[in-house]
Chain A
Amino acid sequence: MRDAALLVVGAGPAGMAAAAAAASMGVAVTLLDEQPAAGGQIYRAVEAAAGPRGEILGEDYLYGLRLVRALESPLIAHEKGATVWRVDADGTVAYSQGGKGRLIRGRRVILATGALERPVPAPGWTLPGVMTAGAAQILLKQSAVVPRRAVLAGKGPLLYLVAQQLVKAGHPPLALVEARQTTDHLRALAHLAGALKGWRTLAKGASMLSEIGKAGVERYRGATKIAVEGDKAACAITFDCGGRSRRIACDTVLLHQGVVPNTQITRSLRLEHVWDSAQRCFRPKVDEWGATGLQRIYVAGDGAGIGGARAAEQAGRLTALHAAAELAAISLEDRDRQAAGIRKALRAELAVRPFLDAAFPPAPEILRPADETIVCRCEEVTAGDIRGYAKIGCTGPNQTKAYGRCGMGPCQGRYCGLTVTELLAEANGTSAAEVGYYRIRAPLKPIALGELADLDEVVPDVRPGQEIGRNL
């Protein structure tokens, strides 16, 4: 078994910053990166795209370059194309690379797997041509591919950013269908003080909207009943707005309703999770250093709670400091001294968050969709099916797996878990916190059986008392 001092899972801002910080303190780091190049999702392909598409993608994206360049250290082993499929409490990580299964054990492991887009169940959302707004960004960043006739629909700052980037790329979206309601505006005002501290973010938002407006992109505000029409592929988006039903013909529909922490690994470790009512999602319970209930496992970045790329970077540094102290590379005094400045920066980055959370809460219609809407994309289980399970005693998400295979597909609940939690809370008259979430287990991503079997050579023999029997 290969041993490492520090393992970092994920090469987004938190992972990159953690790896670089740890290396600067003399800690040997192995960085496990699922992608072929560093950057995670937000800085996807930044090294390759900065030249050709930097103008289109903007300053905030180009900022990622410095984080990628900081990975050039002899102390950082950057494993690319490494898909982690198992993490154990003792720091053992199993990953798949080039079709081969590999094992490595870290004395400390920093999980920096970031966020996923919140599931956006709407009628027709499984049709070809429907993607997340983040997917459109990835296409642009990594592949220089843009949709010709797209409509952006949903809620959240990313919607405007993608619209602006498409405008700059010369192919503005046909329309922006905004699910944001007046009540959202009003609720957000309560957090204006924090927002003003994060005025740069607000200023960026204003400039985005201005550019989108100048390009003539039609905005439909206060939209509800968002649905996608089409037979073999999306051909239009329909919605209600201003008291009228609308229909816009298009080839691509880009949906978005915010991002949520990716909790697959932390759930598989059976770490404690808390329900964040401001962000309406679960996140793992961590202390101010990113430490969890397991001594060797830390979480940094959006995976511990949504804060955005800059906050993730600072959190990565903080967690690396703590790990370095635990690994005796620096003293506790050094750790605390260096942490002070980082905490200040982190606080500044997080100042605008309560405002954003209040300003863009997920729409009720995607939290608790109509009966006919597919909730589990993999097994095609509808909201109505799930409400039906509740009637025959299904009190929690794990029973929805048993009753209807909901959550048993390859995505392992990434795109249905939160919806199932909300639906069961509603059906059983209880809260999301009480309902809980799917039990997540390895493999975190599908792997070929042969790959798992070949690992046999590096694991201990069957112990006495632990026989692999035949049939029962």
Chain B
Amino acid sequence: MDIENAIIGGGVVGLSLAYGLLKRGRGVTVFDEGDDAFRASRGNFGLVWVQGKGLGAPDYARWTRRSAEAWHGFAEELRAASGHDLALSQEGGYDFYFDEESLAQRVAQYEALKAELGGDYPFDVLGHNALKREEPGIGSEVAGAILHHADGHVNPLLLLKALASEVRRAGGHVRSNCKIVSVEPSSGEFRLTSEFGSIFGAARVVLTAGLGAAELGPKLGFKAPVRPQRGQVLITEKLPKMMNRPSGIIRQVNEGGVQIGDSKEEVGLDDRETLETTSQIAARAIRVYPALRKANLLRSWGALRIMSPDGLPIYQKSETVPGAYLVTCHSGITLAAAHAMFLPDWLDGGESAPNLEAFSENRFTVS
């Protein structure tokens, strides 16, 4: 029996897309690796983040904003169907600065983007005193912050759990512990081979395999120029509420722990946490919220982002192998709503399909 849509990779990107396809009555089988896979979907920060994205690339800023605006409806739908409240909060978020000059530089970049977006980029610049009114716990070293009103955060693990259960309930097949090691075009269809030698046939294939796209992509006509980029994260014991809004580096999760990041390290497939970086991350967090000095660190981890050369997503229909698609990004949480609600239309083509040309692989020309 042939699979209608084979989604390779059961992380948040694959599951969001699967969910969206199933809602349109399509047949879907998701293939997922085992328990010890890298799984960026488990290690991320949980932000639904708009600010700072698409500087110099307004299409990305628009796509991100569109997803953020669709998130509320998406979360509601999942809550009604699965019973899981994803703890979505979209009350705005901060980017903090320790010096005025860096803050001013960033503001200038935001103003430029705002102009490109026709003025639709709602942010405020808060000096220290204004920030302190919003966040009484803020440290004296914080010179100011940019508060962007479209930013928010969500519980990414509950999102995964809700998607996992809904995909199954909606009739999707999920093959766990089934790593696909090869996908080949085969007389108008596709032949998928698993690491244990099982063979599957599919009419259409979507690669949502994170870092795995680099190996699987070429046979399907994709460059898939993705590389791992490590980020390290800390999380504290559960604490009484101490901050009102998330920032890109610190947020208090709905269960109470304060999550702290991040780093951008080019270390290959190494997802270990390190002493140096976790120490520096802790030091910076204490400068922002001094009360964190006495909070107990419970866990730390490293996770690998899936980075394209310019940091933007890749949405690509194979030009040489019809029926094969590549979807990759490093903002799978923020874009989950778009992937569930708009991306299926892109797969089908047609009038309501979003224009994602700006995210084609062709922008990466070999020079």
Query: Do A and B originate from a single complex?
Result: yes
Report which of B35, B237, B266 forms a contact with A399, defined as CB distance below 8 A: B35
B282→A449 contact, CB < 8 A: yes
Q: Which of the segments A22-30, A193-201, A227-235, A451-459 contacts the partner chain?
A: A451-459
Residues of A in contact (CB 8 Å), total 49
The reply to whether the CB of A447 lies closer than 8 angstroms to some CB of chain B is yes
Q: Is the CB of A472 within 8 A of B47?
A: yes
Q: Which of A392, A443, A446, A472 contacts B331 (CB 8 A)?
A: A472
User: Which one of B36, B47, B285, B301 lies within 8 Å of A471 (CB-CB)?
Assistant: B47
Contact of B176 with A408 in the complex, beta carbons under 8 Å: no
A467 adjacent to B294 (CB under 8 Å): no
A393 to B177 CA separation, bound complex (whole angstroms): 9
* Alpha-carbon distance A467/B95, docked complex (angstroms): 17
Q: Given A86-B275, A392-B164, A471-B49, decide whether A449 and B286 contact each other with a Cβ distance below 8 A.
A: yes
Q: Which of B263, B297, B301 contacts A468 (CB 8 A)?
A: B263
List the A side residues contacting B262 at CB < 8 Å: 468-469, 471-472
Whole-angstrom distance between the Cβ of A384 and the nearest chain B Cβ: 15
In the complex, A64→B305 CA distance in Å?
51
B272 neighbours in A (Cβ, 8 Å): 441
Does B292 contact A471, Cβ atoms closer than 8 Å? no
CB contact list, B184-237 vs A, under 8 A: 234, 236-237
Taking CB atoms, residues of chain B closer than 8 Å to A468 are 262-264, 277, 280-281, 284
Q: Is residue B299 within 8 Å, beta carbon to beta carbon, of the partner chain? A: yes
Report the minimum CB–CB distance from B354 to chain A (whole Å).
Answer: 22
How many Å from the CB of B72 to the closest CB on chain A? 21
Docked-complex contact A393 and B49, CB < 8 angstroms: no
- Contact: B280 with A465, CB < 8 Å? no
Q: A405 at the A/B interface (Cβ < 8 Å)?
A: yes
Tell me if A409 counts as interface (CB < 8 A to partner B): yes
Beyond contacts A435-B35, A449-B297: 17 other A-B pairs, Cβ-Cβ < 8 A, are A392-B164, A393-B164, A395-B35, A398-B36, A402-B42, A402-B161, A403-B157, A409-B298, A442-B278, A449-B282, A452-B282, A462-B277, A468-B262, A468-B263, A469-B264, A471-B247, A472-B47
Q: Which residue of A lies closest to B102 (CB)?
A: A470
The answer to whether the Cβ of B92 comes within 8 Å of any Cβ in the partner chain is no
Let me know if B349 is at the binding interface, CB within 8 A. Answer: no
Whether A470 lies near B248 (C-beta < 8 A) is yes
* Contact code string B57-93 (vs A, CB < 8 Å = 1, else 0): 0000000000000000000000000000000000000
Q: Is B150 an interface residue, CB under 8 A from the partner?
A: no
A94 beta carbon closer than 8 Å to chain B: yes
Question: Is the CB–CB distance between A459 and B275 below 8 Å?
Answer: yes
Q: Are A446 and B52 in contact (CB under 8 A)?
A: no
Closest to B169 in A: A392
* Contact between chains at B276 and A402 (CB < 8 Å): no
B99 at the interface (CB under 8 A from A): no
Q: Is the CB of A459 within 8 A of B299?
A: no
Known: A449-B236, A453-B286, A471-B49. A395 touches B176 (CB 8 A): yes
Q: What residue in chain A is nearest B247 (Cβ atoms)?
A: A471
Name the residue among B168, B281, B282 with the largest chain A CB count within 10 angstroms. Answer: B282
Closest chain-A Cβ to B163's Cβ sits at a distance in Å of: 10
Q: How far is the CB of A454 from chain B (nearest CB, A)?
A: 8
Q: Is A156 interfacial (CB-CB < 8 Å)?
A: no
Write out the residue numbers on chain B whose beta carbons fall within 8 Å of the beta carbon of A393.
10, 32, 164, 168, 174, 176
Which of chain B's residues have a CB closer than 8 A to the CB of A410?
237, 296, 298
Contacts of A450 in B (CB 8 A): 282, 286, 292-294
Q: Contact flags (1/0) for B243-281 with A, using CB distance below 8 Å?
A: 000011100000100001011111100001101111111
Q: Which of B280-325 contact A (CB under 8 A)?
A: 280-286, 292-301, 305
Whether a CB of chain B sits under 8 angstroms from the CB of A436 is: yes
5 interchain pairs, CB-CB under 8 A: A392-B161, A409-B298, A448-B296, A469-B264, A472-B262
Interchain CB contact under 8 A, B266 and A455: no
Question: Counting CB contacts under 8 A, is B34 at the interface?
Answer: yes
* In the complex, A285 has a CB within 8 A of chain B: no
Given A443-B299, A459-B275, A467-B264, check contact A453 B283 (CB 8 Å): yes
In the complex, A448 Cα to B164 Cα: how many Å? Answer: 35
Taking the complex as formed, is A107 at the interface, i.e. its CB lies under 8 A from any CB of chain B?
no
Q: How far is the CB of B81 from chain A (nearest CB, A)?
A: 13
B residues within 8 A CB of A472? Answer: 45, 47, 49, 52-53, 248, 262, 305, 330-331
Q: Which residues of A contact B32 (CB under 8 A)?
A: 393
How many A-B residue pairs have C-beta atoms within 8 angstroms? Tell me.
161
Interface string of A175-209 (1 = CB under 8 A from B): 00000000000000000000000000000000000
Q: Name the A residues within 8 Å of B51 (CB-CB).
A: 471
| Bound-complex Cα distance A393 to B166 (A) | 12
Enumerate chain B interface residues (CB-CB to A < 8 A).
10, 32, 34-36, 39, 42, 45, 47, 49, 51-53, 95, 157, 160-161, 164-165, 168, 174, 176-177, 234, 236-237, 247-249, 255, 260, 262-267, 272-273, 275-286, 292-301, 305, 330-331
Bound Cα distance A121, B240 (Å): 29
CB closest chain-A residue, reference B305: A472
In A395-427, the 8 Å CB interface with B consists of 395-399, 401-405, 408-410, 412
In the complex the two chains form, is A469's CB within 8 Å of B35's CB?
Answer: no
Check B295–A448 contact: CB distance below 8 A: yes
Q: Does B292 contact A449, Cβ atoms closer than 8 Å?
A: yes
Interface residues of A (CB under 8 A from B): 86, 88, 92, 94, 103, 392-399, 401-405, 408-410, 412, 435-436, 439, 441-443, 446-450, 452-456, 459-460, 462, 465-472
Q: A449 to chain B: which residues have CB within 8 Å?
A: 234, 236, 260, 282, 285-286, 292-297
Q: Please, which residues of chain B bring their CB within 8 A of the CB of A435?
A: 35
**In the complex the two chains form, what is the Cα distance from A460 to B42 in whole Å?**
29
| A471-B248 contact, Cβ under 8 Å, with A402-B157, A452-B278, A453-B286 | yes
Q: How far is the CB of A273 from chain B (nearest CB, A)?
A: 13
Q: Which of A88, A446, A470 has the most CB of B within 10 A?
A: A470
Take A456-B279, A467-B263, A468-B264 as given contacts and tell me if A439 and B299 are in contact as well, using a CB distance cutoff of 8 Å. Answer: no
Contact of B279 among A92, A402, A453 (CB under 8 A): A453
Q: Is B275 a contact of A455 with CB atoms below 8 Å?
A: yes
B291 to chain A, nearest CB (A): 10
Residues of B within 8 Å of A455, CB to CB, are: 275, 279
- The smallest beta-carbon distance between B330 and chain A, in angstroms, is 7
For B276, what are the chain A residues with a Cβ–Cβ distance below 8 Å?
459-460, 462
**A470 in contact with B157 (CB, 8 Å):** no
Contact call A441/B301, Cβ cutoff below 8 A: yes
For A446, list chain B residues within 8 Å (CB).
237, 296-298
How far is the CB of B161 from the nearest CB of chain A, in Å?
A: 5
- By CB atoms of chain B within 10 A, which of A396, A405, A448, A453 has the most? A453
Nearest residue, chain A, Cβ from B266: A465
By beta carbon, the residue of chain B nearest A435 is B35
A439 to B302, CA, bound (A): 12
List residues of chain B with CB within 8 A of the CB of A462.
276-277, 280
Q: Is the CB of B293 within 8 A of A398?
A: no
Residues on A with beta carbons closer than 8 Å to the beta carbon of B282: 449-450, 452-453
> When chains A and B are docked, how far (Å) is the Cα of A408 from the Cα of B165?
21
User: Given A395-B176, A412-B299, A452-B297: A470 and B95 within 8 A (CB)?
Assistant: yes
**CB-based contact B249/A470 at 8 Å:** yes
Interface pair A470/B36, CB less than 8 Å apart: no
